[in-house]
Amino acid sequence: MVKKPCIYVEEIDSPIGMLTIACHHDGLCSIEFGSLQEAAVPLQSWAKKHMMHNELKKDQDYTGEAARQLTEYFNGERQTFDLPLCLKGTPFQIKVWRALREIGYGETKSYKDIAQAIGNPKAVRAVGSANNSNPLPIVIPCHRVIGSSGSLVGYGGGLDKKVTLLDHEKMIMKS
């Protein structure tokens, strides 16, 4: 009998509220803000679009390492993530997401900086759109992207979460 593919999920509590992490056998594929109950519909929609199936199953054998590393991040014990990622997006989005991973812990970059880093300096708005589509906030640190004036602009989890994440990193860097 062939095993039906599914997305493995786990909820973790964090200083910015509940997070639901989703993994596939290829790696971490999504982090949603909110409980599994709140995240189930968007996760199932994402999974159906990108993975051609939408069954969600709790299984810490798949999600445990991601949960551990996120907990370490929030405890100030981890500044980078060493996880296999299952990224699903356009080639442009994936290029942007890889550039976001190069932003150092406690640092910020503007959308313009990211556009220049990927070799497409006029693609500032497209970079913003790719940033907004990031399926792995925190691990792919889109919270570290700010406006060119230094202003805090949009964040999928809300600006309050962005501020909390940036303040957390600054505090850890000072200690």
Q: Which tens digits make up the pLDDT trace of 89-110? A: 999 999 999 999 999 999 999 9
Tell me the CATH number at 124.
1.10.10.10
127's tokens: 């970079």
Q: What are phi and psi of 120, to 5 degrees?
A: -140, 70
Burial 10-29 (b: 16+ CB within 10 A, else e): bbbebebebbbbbbbeeebb
Backbone torsion region of residue 151, taken as left when φ is above 0, otherwise alpha when ψ lies between -120 and 50, otherwise beta: beta
Tens-digit pLDDT profile for residues 48-86: 887 777 788 898 888 999 999 999 999 999 999 999 999
Q: Is 6 a catalytic residue?
A: no
pLDDT at residue 126, rounded to an integer: 96
Q: Determine if residue 27 is left, alpha or beta; phi over 0 gives left, psi from -120 to 50 gives alpha, anything else beta.
A: left
Supply the CATH number for residue 48's domain. Answer: 3.30.160
**Residue 2: per-residue pLDDT:** 47
Domain limits for position 147: 91-174
Give the pLDDT score at 63. 94
Confidence of residue 141 (pLDDT cuts 50, 70, 90): very high
Residue 81 lies in a domain: no
Among 21, 20, 13, 17, CA closest to 161 = 17
Query: Do residues 64 and 95 share a domain?
Result: no
Candidates 23, 29, 86, 142; catalytic one: 142
Q: Are residue 111 and residue 165 in the same domain, yes or no?
A: yes
